[in-house]
Amino acid sequence: MNKDWYEGSNFNDMKDVLGEALTDFYHKTSTGKLWVHNKYGPKEEMPVDVYFRAMEDMPELEWAALQQCKGRILDIGAGAGSHALALQQMGLDITALDISPKAAVVMEQRGVKNVIRKDFYEMKGETYDSLLLLMNGIGLAGTLIGLRQFLTHAATLLSPGGGLIFDSSDIAYMYEGRIPEMKEYYGEIQYQYEYRRQRSDWFKWLFIDRKTLTETAASMGWHTELLFEDEWDQYLVKCRRYDTI
């Protein structure tokens, strides 16, 4: 299980690669590119401006997610804080969580009122009505085993009847419908960030198909409701505990 990657944000004792990119973009102090390396093909550029989207520029899936949020909300892996700012502008009680210290500073500078710089798995003692993870934030689970660990901890942070809201996608298309025999689930992908000649450690990021998600969640006592899906097998769900619905 990799705990250090939320909505693309990372931090460890040595590097805060995405946090550096967010800081430079916000302060317009660098024109460096953020690259994403992977184990299946050439590196790809990750446009940093996507983390700074205004409300009107957010896709339909994200709008659907924001409309589902209610009560006390925790935005997990808040990145540069765009979704937290949108919810704040909607008058909702939102707290933004990110493990990256540089990302946390950027959020505060952008006007996010409640920011916590902490590992999700260190969150204790507070409960929320909505847990939000966007931009495939559920990927932080890393693996199917990690997803079970994530759901176990998320249950301790949700108020009775509360909802876990997140998106993911089925990446079977990468194999053109012929998924090879693999020791690991095909949606467990290894990535590495690079920015201004600094590289993060390699980390696993989970993309989970809806059937596997629903079955995994059900086996742990969660009901999964589909909220949105598109033609690219990207979907949005809301999960709630059966015993609190």
Q: What confidence category does residue 86 fall into, taking pLDDT thresholds of 50, 70 and 90? A: very high
- 141: domain CATH number is 3.40.50.150
Q: Pick the residue with more confidence: 226 or 12?
A: 226
What domain count does the chain have?
A: 1
Alpha-carbon span 245 to 227, nearest angstrom: 17
Cβ atoms of 45 and 70 within 8 Å: the answer is no
Q: What percent of the chain has pLDDT above 70?
A: 93
pLDDT tens-digit map of 151-194? 999 999 999 999 999 999 999 888 876 787 888 999 999 999 99
* pLDDT the model gives residue 178: 77
Q: Please state, in angstroms and as integers, the Cα–Cα distance from residue 57 to each residue in 84, 86, 90, 111, 227, following that order.
A: 15, 11, 16, 18, 20
Alpha-carbon span 34 to 194, nearest angstrom: 6
| For residue 139, pLDDT beyond 90 | yes
Q: Does any domain span residue 43?
A: no
* pLDDT the model gives residue 63: 96
pLDDT tens-digit map of 119-137? 999 999 999 999 999 999 9
* pLDDT the model gives residue 9: 40
Q: DSSP 3-state helix, strand, coil percentages of the chain (rounded to 5)?
A: 35, 30, 35
User: Cα angle at 222 between 170 and 72, to 5 degrees?
Assistant: 95
| Rounded mean pLDDT, 62-86 | 98
* pLDDT the model gives residue 173: 86
| Rounded mean pLDDT, 11-24 | 79
Q: Does any domain span residue 85?
A: yes
Q: Pick the residue with more confidence: 164 or 32?
A: 164
| For residue 11, pLDDT beyond 50 | no
* pLDDT the model gives residue 77: 97
Q: Does any domain span residue 84?
A: yes
- Give pTM, 2 decimals: 0.92
pLDDT tens-digit map of 43-58? 999 999 999 999 999 9
Q: Residue 157: which H helix or E strand, with range? A: helix 144-157
Q: Does any domain span residue 22?
A: no
Place of tokens 């009775």: 160
Q: Does any domain span residue 131?
A: yes
Domain assignment of residue 78, given as a range: 58-189+205-244
Q: Does any domain span residue 220?
A: yes
Alpha-carbon span 151 to 117, nearest angstrom: 21
Q: Quote the tokens at residue 68.
A: 């589902």
